[in-house]
Chain A
Amino acid sequence: MGPELDFEKPILELQEKISELKKFMNEKGIDLSDELNHLQERLADLEKDTYGSMTPWERVRVARKLNRPTTLDYIPLLFTDFIECHGDRLYGDDSAIVSGIAKFHGRPVTVIGEQRGRDTKENIMRNFGSPHPEGYRKALRLMKQADKFHRPIITFIDTKGAFPGKAAEERGQSEAIARNLFEMSGLSVPVISVVIGEGASGGALAIGVGNQILMLENAWYSVISPEGAAALLWKDAGKAEEAAKTMKITGSDLKKLGIIDKLIPEVLGGAHHDPKKQAAFIDQALIESFEELSQLTADQIRNQRLAKYRAIGNYETVQENQTNHSIFSYSSDRQ
């Protein structure tokens, strides 16, 4: 199950108590089932309370659990006939992004997802799920291929961000991300993006310009990680917990802000408690999204996607007679 988080500790303690009691009953042959039932009820309540009212920061920590299901865990549970396609044909193959073709309920699709490791060794191999430019260019190659063969695209977002490294800069990390935003805007096939874990910044968006954005309940998606936001805004990375709240990064926050289309419920306690059941929740949401998008022609698919992002923004145009803004008093003494 992986290490438990501090807010889960009371649950863990109660679980231990229950198993001790069971052991005791078996060993001594004493019937304490009343007591046992009572404890099990308490556990159910406690789990419901704890997991039902998780703070944004608690969700961030669940999203980061090493045993949380990743793209490669979901692929066999959601698709058949998956064939991985490697390489960007320009520089190399980036294992922080996996991509390939598959069938979703018999229908051909292209699948692309950010892939972190599930243990230290794999994390090193996959660069902790932080792609280099060649990863984004591989994704773009697969997306263009999908467009050519009229295959819908499903992307899984799960990254702490595009890799901040020397080689990544030399090979044009900015350009690679920008190019994906540009080209995804022109795709004529449906694109559904699912935020399954962490979604940080341009590194997440670079495979996330979908017709619909879906998000798991304990996933987070923002312009920067909570730690990064705290460091930049308050010069104190320790204020990450506060930033997680202020920055409005959880699925329910983003649903309220109108950024995501569907919030996918999670198994109680988090996706890692039952990946198979979690995949079934995702499957259900994907089927619905496909149904909604299948009503649209290729032109409408493009236009719907463009219009979706075109509409995002929160601003107003002030009138001449409003005096609470100083925008007309240009002071020329600035340096």
Chain B
Amino acid sequence: MKDFFTKKKKYATVPSAKARQDVPEGIVRKCPKCKKIMYVKELSKHLFVCQSCGYHYPIGAHDRAEMLFDQDSYVAFDEKMVSLNPLQFPNYMNKLESDRKKTGLNEAVWTGKGTIEGFEAAVAIMDKGFRMGSMGSVVGEKITRLIEYAGKNGIPVIIFSASGGARMQEGVLSLMQMAKTSGALKAFSENGGLYISIMTHPTTGGVSASFASLGDYNFAEPGALIGFAGRRIIEQTIGEELPDDFQTAEFLLKHGQLDQVIPRSELRTVLGQVLSIHAEGGAE
């Protein structure tokens, strides 16, 4: 009974704005789906997949390369290529510069080669942290060069897409990168080249409507947003609300647009299997 009176009131402590700012960023992250808070260190051990609900956090190109390739097996290509601002778009160069600092990438795609489960592959990894992963001249050129490199060296191409679409600030030049990359894939494909497309969150617009949809195998990560037009634009156009799963990887699988939806934890294994089946060679 005594305790009843002496029991201290429990207050939830709300940190002051100042204190909240003092918490170093990037130590914990809250799952946007199930709201569970996890240490980033712990999260990174699990390939940035929420252990409580399976939500796949979008990841940058450097993290992706690190978890994809066999240890110390990869090198990067064309790391010093930069856009020249063809339309003289105001403030564009500053935005590129700040995204270079933010991501440590020269552009919205990392390209290079390495081995996966022992198999050599030419790999492109888009990074949505750089101008929403949008495709302008440099992204188109880097991907095209990667495909050409793979063709010359007889190795497969794997592209991880993560993009809001074509880069607005380079106008029609961005649009034409769709034709450029698709043309490179056509030439590569006619020579028997293997191309595996992996769509990650988000893969939309001019990227989904070019190389991302052209894989011999089209895979996607769980929950990834994949589509041509933006959800809001569609809702405005047709005047109805769309189902929650609209334009998710699972939705695309159901509608026959994907071979499989592959959890991040199984990706390396599946890629290894596909590469191994192709390494055996088919009937000539």
Instruction: Indicate whether B184 reaches chain A with its CB closer than 8 angstroms.
Output: yes
The answer, yes or no, to whether B246 is at the interface (CB within 8 Å) is: yes
A232 to B101, CA, bound (A): 23
Which chain B residues border A206 with CB–CB below 8 Å? 209
Considering only residues 215-258 of chain A, those with a C-beta below 8 Å from chain B are 221-224, 229, 232-233, 246-249, 254, 257
- Check if A165 sits within 8 Å of B238, measured CB to CB: yes
- The answer to whether B228 touches A164, judged by C-beta atoms less than 8 angstroms apart, is yes
* Contact flags A293-335 to B (C-beta < 8 A → 1, else 0): 0000000000001100110111111110000011101111111
Which B residue's beta carbon lies closest to that of A311? B180
**Max chain A CB contacts within 10 Å: which of B80, B137, B141?**
B80
- 10 examples of A-B residue contacts, CB within 8 angstroms: A165-B237, A168-B228, A169-B227, A186-B190, A223-B172, A254-B172, A310-B180, A325-B100, A327-B80, A335-B26
Q: With A and B bound together, what is the CA distance between A171 and B81 in angstroms?
A: 37
Please measure, in the bound complex, the distance between the C-alpha atom of A178 and the C-alpha atom of B101, giving whole angstroms.
32
CA distance A236 to B147 in the complex (A): 38
The one of A178, A222, A319 in contact with B211, judged by C-beta atoms closer than 8 angstroms, is A178
CB contacts (< 8 Å) of A247 on chain B: these are 87, 168, 171-172
- Are A315 and B166 within 8 A (Cβ)? no
Interface size on B, residues (CB 8 A): 80
Q: A140 an interface residue at 8 Å Cβ cutoff?
A: no
**Least Cβ–Cβ distance between B127 and chain A, in angstroms:** 10
A314 touches B228 (CB 8 A): no
- B129 near A: Cβ within 8 Å? yes
Q: Which one of B106, B180, B183 lies within 8 Å of A313 (CB-CB)?
A: B180
Q: Is the CB of A223 within 8 A of B82?
A: no
Q: What 0/1 readout, one digit per residue, does chain B (29-45) give for beta carbons within 8 Å of chain A?
A: 10000000000100000
Given contacts A164-B233, A248-B172, A314-B173, contact A170 B255 (CB under 8 A): yes
Say whether A98 faces chain B, with CB atoms less than 8 Å apart. no
- Give chain B residues whose Cβ lies under 8 Å from the Cβ of A185: 179, 182-183, 186-187
A313 and B140 contact, Cβ closer than 8 Å, known pairs A177-B228, A223-B172, A325-B100:
yes
Interfacial chain A residues near B247, Cβ < 8 Å: 169
Residue from B101, B184, B228 having most chain A Cβ neighbours under 10 A: B228
Specify which of A222, A257, A327, A331 is in contact with B79 (CB 8 Å cutoff).
A327
Does A222 lie within 8 Å of B172, measured CB to CB? yes
Distance to closest chain B CB from A39 (angstroms): 42
Chain A positions within 8 Å of B206 at CB level? 201-202, 223
Chain A residue nearest in CB terms to B197: A178
**Contact status B81-A315, CB under 8 Å:** yes
Q: Are A223 and B171 in contact (CB under 8 A)?
A: yes
- The docked-state distance in angstroms from the alpha carbon of A197 to that of B168 is 21
**Using Cβ atoms and an 8 Å threshold, which residues of chain A touch B79?**
327
Given contacts A209-B183, A316-B82, 15 further A-B contacts (CB under 8 A): A166-B242, A169-B234, A173-B228, A174-B226, A178-B213, A179-B214, A223-B206, A247-B87, A247-B168, A248-B87, A310-B183, A312-B177, A317-B82, A327-B106, A335-B40
B157 within 8 A of A: no
Report B-chain residues with C-beta under 8 Å of the C-beta of A319: 80
Contact B180–A312 (Cβ < 8 Å): yes
Q: Is the CB of A182 within 8 A of B214?
A: yes
A158–B103 Cα distance when bound, in Å, is: 39
Q: At the interface, yes or no: A77 with Cβ under 8 Å from chain B? A: no
B100 CB contact (under 8 Å) in A173, A305, A313, A326: A326
Contacting pair B177 A313 (CB below 8 A): yes
**Within 8 Å of chain B (Cβ to Cβ): is A21?**
no
- How many angstroms from the CA of A257 to the CA of B87 in the assembled complex? 9
Please give me the residue from chain B that is nearest to A187 by CB atom. B186
- Residues on A with beta carbons closer than 8 Å to the beta carbon of B173: 257, 259, 312-314
- Pairwise interchain contact A164-B82, C-beta atoms closer than 8 A: no
Residues of chain B within 8 A of A315, CB atoms compared: 81-84, 137-138, 141
B234 to A172, Cβ gap below 8 A?
no
Pairwise interchain contact A333-B190, C-beta atoms closer than 8 A: no
Q: Contacts A221-B172, A326-B97; is A164 near B211 (CB within 8 Å)?
A: no
Whether the pair A246, B229 counts as a contact (CB closer than 8 A) is no
Residue B230, interface by CB 8 Å: yes
B210 at the interface (CB under 8 A from A): yes
A35 within 8 A of B: no
CB contacts (< 8 Å) of B81 on chain A: these are: 315-318
For residue B179, which residues in chain A have a CB less than 8 angstroms away from its CB?
A: 181, 184-185, 205, 209, 309, 312
- Which residue of A is nearest B62, CB measured? A330
Residues in chain A near residue B84, CB distance under 8 A: 314-316
Pairwise interchain contact A229-B255, C-beta atoms closer than 8 A: no
CB <8 Å contact, A179 and B25: no
| Distance of A315 Cα from B132 Cα, bound (Å) | 19
Q: A319 vs B176: C-alpha distance in the bound complex, in angstroms?
A: 27
Q: Which residues of A lie under 8 Å from residue B212 when comparing CB positions?
A: 174, 178
Q: B140 — nearest CB in chain A belongs to which residue?
A: A313
Contact with A along B68-90 (1 / 0, CB 8 A): 00000000001111111111011
Q: Is A183 an interface residue (CB 8 A)?
A: yes
B60 touches A334 (CB 8 A): yes
Q: Which 10 A-B pairs have the closest CB atoms?
A: A330-B104, A164-B229, A181-B182, A314-B86, A313-B137, A185-B183, A174-B208, A178-B213, A177-B209, A173-B228
Can you name the residue of chain B whose Cβ is closest to the Cβ of A327? B106
Q: Which of A164, A166, A169, A257 contacts B172 (CB 8 A)?
A: A257
Give the distance in Å from the alpha carbon of A314 to the alpha carbon of B246 in the complex. 36
Tell me if B144 counts as interface (CB < 8 A to partner A): yes
Is A175 located at the chain interface by the 8 A CB criterion? yes
Q: Using Cβ atoms and an 8 Å threshold, which residues of chain A touch B141?
A: 313, 315
